[in-house]
């Protein structure tokens, strides 16, 4: 069944007017999506929920500033990312290296580059699927599951050197597809502790 809020401009207009039904529709429509996205960044479900809750509170408090010329969905995802960055900076002492890495991420997900980034993520996912079987399995155990090289070696019954070789090969093949932003794109896919 179609809702009167399915049209984004109508939803934003009602939000700006303080319509609680519009706000509930917004939360119901985007909560799950934003939670999954925040979790992909944090790898911590409680932190992801905090980020999304803060985001929705911010939207309600500043609803008058919403603008129909921007995509609400893109705005929400950008806000979730910004909330993640703020939480990350707050919870961790940020070194100069981390700061430059976060700035590179800011550039990578800048609104002007969002289409390029989406293409690069799609290329990475496709590239991972085309990796040789053992190379792909090793890479995903490392980056997606967060296992150490020793844990992977024990799990797959191979040497640590072989694990390192598979991961290096995967990085080489994926970098050839995506270029210099490989680590930033992998960060968005698997989270900071996995890259």
CATH, range 8-92: 1.10.1740.10
**Residue 130 CA from chain centroid, whole number:** 22
Among the listed ranges 12-21, 77-86, 119-128, which one has the minimum average pLDDT value?
A: 119-128
pLDDT at 93: 47
Residue 22 has pLDDT above 70, yes or no: yes
* pLDDT value for 90: 65
- Residues 6 or more apart whose CB falls under 8 angstroms from that of 11 comprise 5, 22, 25, 26, 72
Q: Domain extents for the chain?
A: 8-92, 114-194
> What is the average pLDDT across 114-135?
78
pLDDT in the model for residue 175: 81
pLDDT digits (tens, 9 = 90+) for 151-164: 888 888 899 899 99
**Nearest-angstrom CA–CA distance, 137 and 59:** 41
| Average pLDDT estimate for 23-34 | 92
The dotted CATH code for 114-194 is 1.10.10
Query: What is the pLDDT averaged over residues 134-153?
Result: 85
Check whether 15 has a pLDDT greater than 80.
Answer: yes
Question: What does the alpha-carbon distance between residue 16 and residue 32 come to, in Å, rounded to a whole number?
Answer: 23
Report the pLDDT averaged over residues 104-109: 58
pLDDT value at residue 9: 85
**At residue 16, does pLDDT exceed 50?**
yes
Give how far Cα 4 sits from Cα of 10, 143, 155, Å: 7, 42, 53
Rounded to whole angstroms, the Cα distance separating 72 from 28 reads 14
Average pLDDT across the chain, whole number: 79
Give the integer Cα–Cα distance in Å for 120 and 186. Answer: 10
Count Cα atoms within 13 angstroms, Cβ side, for 93: 1
The pLDDT of residue 194: 41
The two tokens of residue 15 are 């939000």
Mean pLDDT of 61-79: 85
| Fold agreement between 8-92 and 114-194 | no
Question: Which stretch of 41-55, 91-105, 145-159 has the lowest confidence by average pLDDT?
Answer: 91-105
Ramachandran area for residue 18 (φ above 0: left; ψ -120 to 50: alpha; else beta): left
């Amino acid at each position: 069944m179609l809702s009167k809020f399915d049209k984004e401009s109508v939803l934003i207009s009602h939000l700006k007017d303080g319509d609680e039904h519009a706000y509930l529709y917004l939360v119901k429509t985007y909560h799950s999506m934003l939670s999954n996205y925040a979790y992909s960044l944090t790898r911590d479900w409680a932190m992801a929920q905090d980020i999304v809750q803060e985001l929705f509170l911010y939207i309600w408090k500043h609803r008058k500033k919403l603008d129909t010329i921007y995509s609400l969905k893109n705005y929400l995802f950008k806000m979730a990312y910004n909330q993640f960055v703020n939480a990350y900076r707050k919870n961790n002492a940020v070194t100069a290296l981390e700061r430059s890495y976060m700035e590179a991420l800011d550039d990578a997900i800048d609104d002007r580059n969002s289409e390029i980034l989406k293409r690069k993520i799609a290329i990475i996912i496709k590239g991972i699927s085309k990796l040789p079987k053992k190379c792909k399995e090793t890479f995903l155990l490392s980056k997606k599951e967060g296992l150490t090289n020793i844990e992977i070696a024990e799990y797959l019954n191979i040497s640590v050197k072989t694990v390192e070789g598979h991961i290096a090969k995967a990085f080489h093949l994926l970098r050839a597809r995506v270029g210099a932003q490989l680590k930033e794109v992998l960060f968005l896919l698997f989270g900071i502790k996995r890259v």
